């Protein structure tokens, strides 16, 4: 009976996560890029000299986007269509994300809850399920957003920019930020879930601790590279980059209600989990 209730609870939580990711990704289907019309006009029937004479046009929000994405602008560069390179960057995220999503789905329910579980084992199993399910949701969002962005690049007229960074800033800055954020989180959550599964499944305590230590080391090394690269690429501290990321999401919420509903649902689900953590502990302790 307890296993049935636990599975139903996990499935309900899975539905919440997938619904949240779906709402967030659906917002990008409804909102075209604001820079499309501008670059389409630049592309029609103009020669090389005409393009150079019009590259002074200001781009709204470009300063904020550049601070988040990183990279300095070079006014001497020629305008080109960098859609192929940007599509390749999204593809680099989509392929491994789909593999990790499949692996997390197949192993999410590999550790059933038992009445004989101790508090530590019961908590580890719950965190394992949470890590794998959220990994699945994050990686699915990476696949969905990357696919939408890649298809959008192919279907729209050529859009010109001085560099790959400028092209990304002017057309897909929020999509790229979300894809990177969820890819990094999903990867680290998958490693964390693997560590919890190892700790609960390996019979030898020495070997279990060694594997958990190695996975923890890999997680910290990965996080150090993520933080360092974001700081170097943006030219500002990681904390300011995070603040700009949140500001960009807030601006998107104001213009796209469906995206805002998805973000609010995500915040509500995470807050509910944090509030209910003590109740989970007392439930396990009372067995």
Distance CA 87, CA 171 (A): 12
Give residues with Cβ within 8 angstroms of 168, minimum separation 6.
Answer: 69, 86, 89, 176
- Whether the Cβ atoms of residue 25 and residue 147 lie closer than 8 Å to each other: no
The H or E element spanning position 80 is: strand 80-81
**What pLDDT digit, counting tens, does each position of 149-181 carry?**
999 999 988 888 888 888 888 888 889 989 998
pLDDT at 30: 37
Q: What local confidence, expressed as pLDDT, does residue 75 receive?
A: 57
pTM: 0.68
Per-residue confidence (pLDDT) for residue 261, from 0 to 100: 95
| Cβ atoms within 10 Å, residue 133 | 23
Positions in the chain whose pLDDT score sits under 70:
1-76, 230-236, 238, 287
Q: What letter would DSSP give residue 163?
A: S
- What is the residue extent of each domain of the chain? 84-112+129-255
Tens-place pLDDT, residues 176-196? 989 998 999 999 899 888 888
Q: 220, 219, 223: which is closest to 192 by C-alpha?
A: 219
């Amino acid at each position: 009976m307890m296993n049935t209730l636990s599975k139903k609870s996990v499935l309900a939580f899975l539905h919440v996560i997938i619904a949240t990711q779906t709402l967030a990704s659906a917002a990008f289907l409804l909102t075209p890029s604001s820079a499309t019309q501008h670059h389409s006009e630049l592309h029609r029937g103009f020669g090389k000299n005409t393009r150079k004479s019009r590259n002074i046009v200001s781009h709204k929000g470009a300063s904020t986007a550049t601070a988040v994405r990183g990279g300095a602008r070079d006014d001497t560069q020629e305008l080109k269509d960098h859609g192929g390179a940007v599509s390749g960057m999204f593809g680099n995220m989509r392929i491994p994300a789909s593999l990790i999503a499949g692996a997390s789905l197949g192993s999410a329910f590999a550790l059933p809850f038992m009445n004989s579980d101790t508090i530590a084992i019961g908590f580890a199993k719950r965190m394992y399920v949470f890590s794998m399910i959220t990994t699945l949701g994050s990686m699915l969002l990476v696949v969905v957003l990357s696919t939408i962005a890649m298809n959008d690049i192919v279907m729209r007229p050529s859009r010109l920019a001085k560099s790959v960074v400028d092209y990304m800033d002017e057309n897909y800055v929020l999509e790229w930020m979300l894809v990177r954020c969820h890819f990094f989180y999903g990867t680290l959550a998958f490693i964390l879930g693997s560590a919890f599964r190892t700790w609960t499944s390996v019979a030898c305590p020495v070997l279990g601790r060694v594997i958990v230590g190695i996975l923890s080391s890999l997680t910290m090394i990965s996080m150090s590279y993520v933080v360092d690269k974001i700081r170097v690429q943006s030219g500002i501290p990681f904390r300011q980059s995070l603040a700009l990321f949140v500001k960009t999401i807030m601006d998107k919420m104001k213009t796209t209600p469906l995206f805002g509903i998805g973000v609010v649902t995500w915040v509500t689900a995470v807050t509910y989990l944090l509030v209910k953590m003590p109740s989970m502990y007392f439930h396990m302790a009372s067995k």
